[in-house]
Amino acid sequence: MTIAFLNGDFLPLSEAKISPMDRGFLFGDGIYEVIPTYQAKPVGMKGHMARLKSGLSAISITNPYDETQWRDILATLVEKNSPYIPSGNIGIYFHVSRGTDSKRFHAFPDNIAPTVFGFAFEIAPAQPLNKHDVKAFKVALEEDKRWQRCHIKSTSLLGNVLHFQTGVEQGVNETILHNSAGEITEASSCNVFIVKNNVVYTPPLDNQLLPGITRSIALEAFTRASIEVEESRFSIDDLLNADEVWLSSSSKEIAPVVEVNGMAIGDGNVGDMWQKAIKAYHDYKFIA
């Protein structure tokens, strides 16, 4: 059993119910966040709150809570779920949909209250510091077929789900995406980094990718640790010829990739730069 939050109440997840007329259900009309916590300490709370605010504003939903209220809900969810998730590695999912309407009509309805849902789930432990102890990822590669507003953390995730499933069907862990110009953008549920000659590269933010909070913490952490990093576009060839490839997300932190589309990256093992990067990330993540 775990405890969820629904429209102001904390209750067992199995008892949390919404109407089938909720626009989140009918249209995927909502915004979500996933915030990692370790031993009750959240990572990147400021960034998650800012992205939630800008996502809600981008789709004209009034933010139902201020930052203090969101922080209190998060802390209560962590506290109430700690007995059920004893590892203390707890992800908090927040979801705000436009709310429940009486009809199914595309236009934003007037005067409906957003539906606010939160639940807790176990995430992987923090990444180890030693490259021999980390799970290495293998990924597929395909053209991004999603919409042109990938910077909005929308609950309409069918495009991402289909890209992720490509990887599953190829027996790998994720799918890296490129645009029609052959530039890498992100992955179906992660941001992407490559390393070449000890310099770290990640695509710059625009409408083709989510402004990942882990990405942003990592960029600051690398700069603090004097790891050279550049936000710049790179091609499929650059990806395949990189010394190292990494994915980043709230639940994976920074995860090394050793194979793309069946081709080994570098020597096919987790690299030394990953080890430097994860140390820099851990040193900074609770400060960010």
115 is an interface residue for ligand PLP by CB under 6 A: no
Toward ligand PLP, which CB reaches closer, 93 or 108? Answer: 93
Toward ligand PLP, which CB reaches closer, 49 or 242? Answer: 49
123 is an interface residue for ligand PLP by CB under 6 A: no
CA–CA separation, 16 and 118 (whole Å):
10
186 is an interface residue for ligand PLP by CB under 6 A: yes
185 is an interface residue for ligand PLP by CB under 6 A: no
- Cβ-contact 100, 20 below 8 angstroms: no
215 is an interface residue for ligand PLP by CB under 6 A: yes
Residue of 63, 154, 160, 175 that binds ligand PLP (CB under 6 A): 160
> Which residue in the list 138, 153, 252, 276 is annotated as catalytic?
153
How many residues are present in the chain? 288
153 is catalytic: yes
Q: Which of 59, 13, 17, 14 is nearest to 156 (CA)?
A: 59
277 is an interface residue for ligand PLP by CB under 6 A: no
Amino acid identity, position 219: L
140 is an interface residue for ligand PLP by CB under 6 A: no
- Crossing angle of the two packed helices 45-58 and 213-224, in degrees rounded to 10: 140
Residue with tokens 């934003």: 108
Q: Which helix (H) or strand (E) holds 50?
A: helix 45-58
- Crossing angle of the two packed helices 213-224 and 272-284, in degrees rounded to 10: 100
Stretch that binds ligand PLP, among 64-72, 93-101, 120-128, 213-221 (CB under 6 A): 213-221
Instruction: Count residues binding ligand PLP (CB under 6 A).
Output: 14
Query: For residue 210, what are the CA distances in angstroms to 117, 160, 180, 192, 206?
Result: 21, 12, 18, 11, 8
163 is an interface residue for ligand PLP by CB under 6 A: no
Stretch that binds ligand PLP, among 10-18, 182-190, 267-275, 276-284 (CB under 6 A): 182-190
* Interaction residues for ligand PLP, span 20-49 (CB under 6 A): 34
Strand partners, 38: 41, 89
Q: Which helix (H) or strand (E) holds 258?
A: strand 253-260
Active-site positions? 153
Where along the sequence are the contacts to ligand PLP (CB under 6 A)? Answer: 34, 160, 186, 189-191, 210, 212-215, 248-250
